[in-house]
Amino acid sequence: MSTVAQTVARHLLAVQAVRLRPADPFTWSSGWKSPIYCDNRVTLAFPEVRTYIKHALADVVRTQFPEAQVIAGVATAGIPQGALIADELNLPYCYVRPEPKKHGMGNQIEGRLEADASGLPPKVVVVEDLISTGGSSLKVVEALRQAGADVVGMIAIFTYGFALADENFANADVKLACLSNYDILVQEAQTLNYIPADALASLSAWRQNPGEWRR
């Protein structure tokens, strides 16, 4: 029987939320050349995949963060995922922008973030769709903490598994739980003949040093 991580990887490949092109790499906004492009928003168009991911993420909250009182989505891609999970768990929901709005109420956090019945800070689980270095995701954690929240952890659909991300989350004292990761996705891609065997070395080299790959 496939693990959740394997099943999620297969779903992402099947609906082309993840594309692997080691011979014709993508260019990220950072300028990095990359053999992989991930857009998990694509999964929202496929009810079976969307529902599987929703249930899997909700199960992570139940098992790893049972104390959660609020779900917070990271704008923008984490907004729909977070809303789906909050609905599944029947928990309050908010979402957080990278920075406050420059008009209107000037909100960075949309929704209500209130103390619990005992007057203690609300225990929040943050929902992201994708983890690369973790930089933008952890800015949301900082905004929630400044607003008085107790961030108990973050969940995501997929992580590239960069060592820098591990370091950033450890330094921020944030527990991270992801449904699937780069290594498992590459294994599944090979099993399903999405990539040739001779591409594995290049895919591995990119993950070890993405900033210098193909420069």
The pLDDT of residue 122 is above 80: yes
Question: Which stretches of 13-163 are assigned E, i.e. beta strand?
Answer: 18-20, 26-27, 33-34, 36-38, 70-74, 93-96, 109-111, 123-131, 150-159
The pLDDT of residue 58 is above 90: yes
Global pTM?
0.94
**What size, in residues, is the chain?**
215
Mean pLDDT of 164-168: 95
Mean pLDDT of 24-30: 89
The pLDDT of residue 50 is above 90: yes
SS (H, E, C) 180-194: EEHHHHHHHHHHCCC
Residue showing tokens 């991930």: 38
In percent, the amount of the chain with pLDDT more than 90 equals: 78
Cα separation, 125 vs 210, whole angstroms: 29
pLDDT of residue 30: 82
pLDDT band at 104 (very low <50, low <70, confident <90, very high): low
Burial class for 144, CB neighbours closer than 10 Å (0-12, 13-18, 19+): buried
In percent, the amount of the chain with pLDDT more than 70 equals: 97
pLDDT band at 116 (very low <50, low <70, confident <90, very high): confident
Helices (H), the chain: 4-14, 47-64, 78-89, 135-146, 163-171, 182-191, 200-208
Per residue in 148-158, pLDDT (tens digit) is 999 999 999 99
Residue 182: partners with Cβ closer than 8 Å, 6 or more residues away: 36, 158, 159, 160, 161, 207
pLDDT of residue 1: 59
pLDDT band at 215 (very low <50, low <70, confident <90, very high): low
Q: Report the mean per-residue pLDDT for the chain.
A: 93
